[in-house]
A = this chain, B = another copy of it.
Amino acid sequence: MKKEKLTKNQQTVLSLLEQSKEPLKAYTILSGTQKKGIKAPTQVYRALDKLIEIGKVHKIESKNSYVACNISNCNAMTSTSFLICEKCEKVTELEKDNLKSFFGTLSKSVNFEYSDHNLEIFGCCNACR
């Protein structure tokens, strides 16, 4: 059941995302992969779902966009933290402990059982200043 190898469509989508400097929207991915044989939104979303599930791609919720994860062996499938530059749209993923322990402690202090989080920090990146 554990499958290491990506299928053709999954590779196509991931590869496009990896080449991109910014997050891409699903329909942009569709446009960008049509010559590779992807023809319908469903195919893109299916590939994305899988890639997200295995942690290779994350979704930027506030932008309905998707980014390839460049953290080796990222296990942050469902808990991600991003810095998003509002000038150039570049997105950087926070590594560390991913703030998981911080949010865990914070949650506990207000009597809430933490399981995951989504953090998006907006501002201006170093290169744009």
Q: Which residues of A approach B to under 8 Å, CB–CB?
A: 61-62, 78, 83, 85-86, 92, 94, 103, 106-107, 110-126, 129
On whether the beta carbons of B126 and A122 are closer than 8 Å, the reply is no
A106, B95: Cα distance in complex, Å: 12
Query: Copy number of this protein in the oligomer?
Result: 2
A116, B86: Cα distance in complex, Å: 10
Q: Which of B92, B113, B121, B122 is in CB contact (< 8 Å) with A123?
A: B113
On whether the beta carbons of A122 and B111 are closer than 8 Å, the reply is no
A115, B86: Cα distance in complex, Å: 9
Q: How far is the CB of A87 from chain B (nearest CB, A)?
A: 10
Q: Which residues of B contact A106 (CB under 8 A)?
A: 121
